[in-house]
């Protein structure tokens, strides 16, 4: 019987936490020892290409890689053949923007809070295909304006692409409500779940989305891993971004046919060890329990917000809003990069700057912000370390 990890002893699996106060989890999470061991094990014991050999190493690698798809699918309530492995969320959004058929004046809606990865592909599409790109504003609580979205979605709307939670503000959007709006009209709905995947339970059926994407490296997995969920019934409507070895059923000198399921979209040799470790990462999260993780992060972020607002020179954005463990704040007297550099000297790691969301920062009127982002392996002591250091500056 596998012993489930406990939150009170979890830090033992993350050696870097013995040296640093790590509060930059929205940029990338840390990988625990079981995930690192899984990656090393592939390279040391059964490194081989997948789906290309009859020898036992290839069979073992192929089995574990396919099993990883199943694990990631189960983690978000999907079926195995609905999960495509790729590099990250950025690649996933680009696959959708390039893979659907577009006509002039097709209507696409995104929000003004989006990360550049869920913004640039649609801006490029507007320039190349002359689609009609519209933006939904954010409300006073830092979430998207659902009423505005509902008013803008019509029979010409081909796709709505919204982040589950802002990577800058941490505020949570009502994506289930967005799913209902899109379903009523018959509009494609894409969810960027990069920031929420390791914070709270996600079920694609409850959300009722057509596409959902996230990066493995924000969910304990190695960098260069990610997943795109594509609802089974619409997979034939999405053309593969890349064609080549591994995804073909039959080839002649004039034409080719492709395999069904996720193989269609995974041409070439993938990040096999990373993908297998990705499966181990979601197992690790599942063993702890996503509801338990969500509750722990909620307690920590509430504590951090309370402590930050007590510091006179600090402004916390949307302090009372519903959010994940991502807290943006601003020192009224010192630039964000300078504060982050000073904190780094005390081994406190957090993000500063524009956070790959320049339009949102411009709208809010900031040149840069500090962002503390928490995960389940963070502790009250981490927050106390941060608060003590901030009070010095």
With b for 16 or more beta-carbon neighbours within 10 A and e for fewer, the 262-301 pattern comes to bbbbbbeebbbbbbbbbbbbbbbbeebbbeebbebbbebb
> Can you tell me which residue has the tokens 């700057």?
353
Lookup: tokens for 102: 């577009």
Helices (H), the chain: 33-45, 56-75, 89-99, 120-129, 146-152, 175-185, 204-207, 272-288, 290-308, 336-344, 358-364, 380-391
Taking only Cα atoms into account, the Rg of the chain, rounded to an integer number of angstroms, comes to 21
Lookup: tokens for 214: 């996230």
Q: Which residues contact 184 (CB under 8 A, 6 or more apart)?
A: none
Q: In this structure, are strands 369-373 and 188-192 parallel, antiparallel, or unpaired?
A: unpaired
CA–CA–CA angle 197, 202, 208 (5° rounding): 125
Q: Active site includes 182?
A: no
Distance of CA 169 to the CA centre of its chain: 15
**Which is catalytic among the residues 182, 209, 213, 356?**
356
Rounded-to-integer distance, Cα 181 and Cα 268, Å: 37
Active site residue ranges:
356
């Amino acid at each position: 019987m596998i012993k489930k990890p406990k939150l009170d002893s979890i830090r033992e699996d993350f050696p870097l936490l013995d040296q640093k106060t790590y509060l930059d989890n929205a940029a990338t999470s840390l990988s625990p020892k079981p995930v690192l061991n899984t990656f090393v094990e592939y390279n040391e014991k059964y490194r081989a290409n997948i789906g290309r050999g009859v020898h036992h190493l290839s069979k073992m690698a192929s089995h574990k890689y396919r099993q990883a798809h199943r694990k990631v699918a189960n983690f978000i309530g999907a079926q195995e053949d609905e999960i495509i492995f790729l590099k990250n969320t950025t690649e996933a959004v680009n696959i959708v923007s390039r893979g659907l058929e577009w006509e002039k004046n097709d209507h696409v809606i995104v929000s003004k809070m989006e990360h550049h990865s869920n913004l640039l592909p649609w801006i490029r599409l507007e320039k190349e295909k002359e689609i009609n790109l519209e933006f939904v504003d954010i409300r006073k609580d830092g979430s998207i304006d659902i009423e505005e979205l509902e008013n803008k979605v019509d029979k010409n709307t081909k796709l709505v692409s919204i982040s589950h939670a802002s990577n800058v503000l941490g505020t949570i959007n009502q994506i289930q409500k967005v799913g209902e709006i899109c379903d009523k009209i018959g509009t494609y709905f894409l969810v960027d779940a990069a920031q929420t995947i390791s914070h709270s339970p996600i079920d694609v059926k409850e959300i009722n989305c057509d596409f959902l994407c996230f990066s493995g490296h924000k969910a304990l997995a190695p960098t260069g891993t990610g997943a795109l969920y594509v609802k089974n019934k619409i997979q034939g409507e999405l053309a593969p971004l890349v064609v080549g070895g591994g995804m073909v059923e039959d080839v002649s000198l004039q034409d080719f046919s492709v395999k069904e399921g996720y193989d269609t979209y995974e041409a070439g040799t993938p990040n096999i060890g990373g993908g297998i470790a990705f499966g181990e990462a979601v197992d690790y999260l599942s063993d702890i329990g996503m509801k338990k993780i969500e509750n722990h992060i909620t307690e920590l972020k509430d504590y951090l917000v309370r402590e930050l607002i007590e510091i006179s020179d600090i402004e916390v954005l949307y302090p009372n809003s519903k959010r994940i463990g991502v807290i943006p704040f601003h020192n009224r007297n010192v630039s964000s990069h300078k504060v982050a550099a000073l904190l780094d000297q005390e081994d406190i790691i957090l993000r500063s700057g524009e956070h790959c969301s320049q339009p949102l920062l411009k709208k809010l009127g900031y040149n840069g912000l500090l962002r503390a982002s928490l995960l389940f392996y963070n502790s009250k002591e981490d927050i106390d370390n941060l608060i003590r250091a901030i009070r010095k500056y």
